[in-house]
Structure 1
Amino acid sequence: MLKLSNKKLTVICILLAIVLVLSIIENVVIHNENNKLKNEQIRQMTTEWYEVYELSRQVDNYIELNCIDGAKYQRLVNKICYHFKLSLTVSELNWNMSDFLVNSYDPLFSNLVNEKETVNKKKAVILLKDMNSTLAEISKSISEMSTDEKHKFMDQSSSIYKKESSRVKDFSIKYQKLVDNYFKGL
């Protein structure tokens, strides 16, 4: 058996204490950086969902103004619909919302703006109003969550995330079918 002198044992204990202190400091720094990244992700998520909410408000204004000056609104709709896909982390909820915006909302709005190609203006306005009110509800509820709720929402295994994800998926599927039927003339 090795016999260590008191001096060597003291040096080893000091070195271990230094390593332990450095590890603790490193863990605190990593924890703080992780919190900063989470807060930045929450801020970005809030901004993107708020933009979708504002989009729904602008489209409501367009409809209330009897669908006048559609080109101005179309640029906004197109920008937000396509930017949403690129701006948030990939998740089922974001994918379904992006799919809805790009494949249903933007094409229907574009068709309504281009009056020469509009399949059925009255039906398009009714469909857009209906989907727009639901879009406003969803986007507002997500963007106005408390910070604590948003932290839970970021966890894709949480009940709040699953609830909203299911809601967005059902919403997306419903309106994709209705918009497809609209373009088929049904």
Structure 2
Amino acid sequence: MTEFAVCVYCASHEGISPKLLTLAEELGAGIAARGWTLVSGGGRRSMMGAVAKAARAGGARTVGVIPHSMVEREWADHDSDELLVTDTMRERKALMDAHADAFVTLPGGLGTCEELFETWSAGALDLHAKPVVLLDPEGHYAGLLAWMRGLVDDGFVRAGAMDRLVVTGDVTSALDACAGGS
């Protein structure tokens, strides 16, 4: 039997609030405490690095997936137990998806939102049954969620799609939501 693996989407650039770095560390530690594997974008900086370091410190196996272009810029987390290098970002996301049993999105920017939307929409289309969790203790995504509810009201998004996303405010609830999926 393979270990349960959680893919975490989050910010990888510098300048992130210490509070958010701590959130990433708490999530990594929580993944390790449950004996799970972390799948990440394979970066060593910012929230991405923090979640991976904390997971490893707790004994979790870490799988990083990163495109060549980011390795060449010296962004790769070479301490990962397994570092998979792809040619493109699309290949990166496909490998992250293939290695994961659940997805947790932390606060982030364009790339993080893009990953969230791809995973969320695939789940809403019944292309996978993996849990998709948004861990948002400070309301980072409040505007986005309000906009999405407006899209439901306007008929552009099915109400069931909103139900496919589990929004939580703490690490324990996020990991419990991951464990509840198939």
TM-score normalised over the length of structure 2: 0.23
| Greater share of strand | 2
Q: Which has the larger radius of gyration?
A: 1
